[in-house]
Amino acid sequence: MRLNIVEIVTGAVVITISAILLFYAYTSTKHTDQEGYKIIARFHKADGLVEGSDVKMGGIRVGSVSKMRLDPKRYDAIIELSIKPEIKLPTDTSASIISESLLGGKYLDLQPGGDEEMMEPGSEIQQTQSAVILESLIGQLIFSSKDKDTKKK
């Protein structure tokens, strides 16, 4: 069996590039626990949101989702947010779960209100809008068009 130096070098290059890409993927997706104050929001549906998801305001990251759990009595998703200490939120701030793209990925968008009183750590956002599930919207569209077609006949 004769070893070919070109094959060995090519294999070493492929392994090196794979290791670099794997390291980059690991470090770029690693979410560190952000320091900040905690705010709570309740949603009927939190589909697509995960611990570590971004919390944005005006398109700028201002925090992250630090914990998610289910309320056993009301069956709501309770989302704990970690907000940067320099960001102060009015008490009438609203929260929505928004899609980053058509391919998936969600983030929590905050819309500050006009109240002069600011939220304290541990406060709960009262106005929330749950995630819109694209598959259910497409299903509704398909079935509503079928219903219209059968009524015409």
Single-letter amino acid code for the residue at 141 = L
Instruction: List the alpha helices (DSSP H) in 45-133.
Output: none
Q: pLDDT category, 146, cuts 50, 70, 90?
A: low
AA letter at 85: P
Instruction: Report the alpha-carbon distance of residue 112 to residue 34 in Å, rounded.
Output: 21
Which pTM does this prediction carry? 0.66
pLDDT in tens, 29-73: 655 555 789 999 999 988 888 998 999 999 999 999 999 999 999
Burial of 39 (0-12, 13-18, 19+ CB in 10 A): buried
Give pLDDT, residue 26: 77
- Specify the residue for token string 């305001």: 57
Calculate mean pLDDT across residues 3-26: 88
Greater model confidence, 107 or 101: 107
Q: Residue 121: pLDDT above 90?
A: yes
CB atoms within 10 A of CB 96: 17
